[in-house]
Amino acid sequence: MTGSEQIVTTEYAEFDVELQLESGRLLGPLTLAYETYGALNAKRSNAILVTHAWTGDAHAAGRHTPEDRKPGWWDDMIGPGKVLDTDRYFILCSNVIGSCGGSTGPTSINPRTDRPYRLGFPVVMVRDMVRAQKLLIDRLGIDSLLTVIGGSMGAMQALEWGILYPETTRSIIPIAGTGRTSPMSIAMNAMARQAIFNDPMWKKGNYRPEHPPADGLALARAVGHITFLSEPSMNLKFGRRFSVRDGIFDFFGKFEVERYLEYNGSNFVERFDTNAFLYLAKALDLYDVAWNFDGREDALSRLHCPSLWFAFTSDWLYPPYQTEEVVEILRRLNSPVEYHLIESDYGHDSFLVEPEKFTPYVVEFLERQENSGER
């Protein structure tokens, strides 16, 4: 059975708790949506947590029904005989809080008002997402994670796992991530926010789900999507080709790259909530591993487990130097760290488009962690 032939079901864990967030506010009760692939071994020592990116969800692999057109977002990686081999490992992926993929977020019902949270939802940080995930890991009776692996926002979560829960996290694999969000990335997210805020249908977050601020969200997604690509990939995919449906001298005619962004934006509106998009963008902007520590070195001194880092040459959202800054600090701290700069023309999305370029290192790394035994 290949990963894409797996039929999987999203499960939901309910927690009658109030999670204290980094903001000081309390959030609860909580629901976490998650999926699992493979089985725990007798020692319960083969668990791998996969952490998703900004607009990802718990559906990392397989299909929910045989009729599904597309499998989960990392199906190339997860399944029997694949890099994250489900004949060997127990794979878990949960939707982060603040999202709209089944976990508690701005679309959820606020128990204090019996109405959706909307903008009454508290601001969450990546560290809050990880603390919520720890509730799920504990619920499932998993005392040890062989690794935590994820790309982009998933890389931030992996790093936080290693720092917050060293007794649980045996290794981490951050891919295309950063130790702190740069002003350039924040600026791009600011443009996306303004696209939404300026849509009259947003109504300060009080839109009806059946009438979302579709134009604003589609434009915001297009802005974000540009940062996931690169100039070489755009040249390769689109060049300067004009849309065949338009005349060159039609004032509203579009290049193929414009049509592509328009298409992706409109599709995104159908699957993602606008307020959730905004809350997760805020979490990305706020990310700094040094938060509540005395600088990055102090924070990273808490990372004792082996770590395997990847950056991609054409990634301009989280360019390689940002990963290398973290790696250099870890090396100065004599932390067991491994780093690979991967040549790719696909920008930030390289970790999704060309996994074959870095997965051999992942396989070797996981074998070493298994052979080293449980700490």
Q: For residues 86 and 38, is the Cβ–Cβ distance under 8 A? A: yes
User: Would residue 182 show up in a list of annotated catalytic residues for this protein?
Assistant: no
Rounded to whole angstroms, the Cα distance separating 349 from 208 reads: 32
11 DSSP β-pair partners: 34
Residue with tokens 């690794």: 147
The residues near 82 (Cβ < 8 Å, ≥ 6 apart) are 3, 76
Could you check whether the bond before residue 29 is cis, i.e. omega within 30 degrees of 0? Answer: yes
Q: Quick one: tokens of 81?
A: 């005989």
User: Would residue 152 show up in a list of annotated catalytic residues for this protein?
Assistant: yes
Among candidate residues 103, 152, 171, 314, the one labeled active-site is 152
Among candidate residues 75, 108, 307, 348, the one labeled active-site is 348
What is the DSSP track for 75-131? TTTEETTSSEETTT-EEEEEPPTTSSSSSSSTTSEETTTTEE-GGGSPP--HHHHHH
Rounded to whole angstroms, the Cα distance separating 138 from 146 reads: 15
Burial of 296: CB neighbours in 10 Å, binned 0-12, 13-18, 19+: middle
User: Would residue 230 show up in a list of annotated catalytic residues for this protein?
Assistant: no
Among candidate residues 85, 315, 345, 349, the one labeled active-site is 315
Rounded to whole angstroms, the Cα distance separating 66 from 353 reads: 24
Q: What is the DSSP letter of 7?
A: B
Rounded to whole angstroms, the Cα distance separating 240 from 237 reads: 10
Residue 283: which H helix or E strand, with range? Answer: helix 274-286
Q: Which residues are catalytic?
A: 152, 315, 348
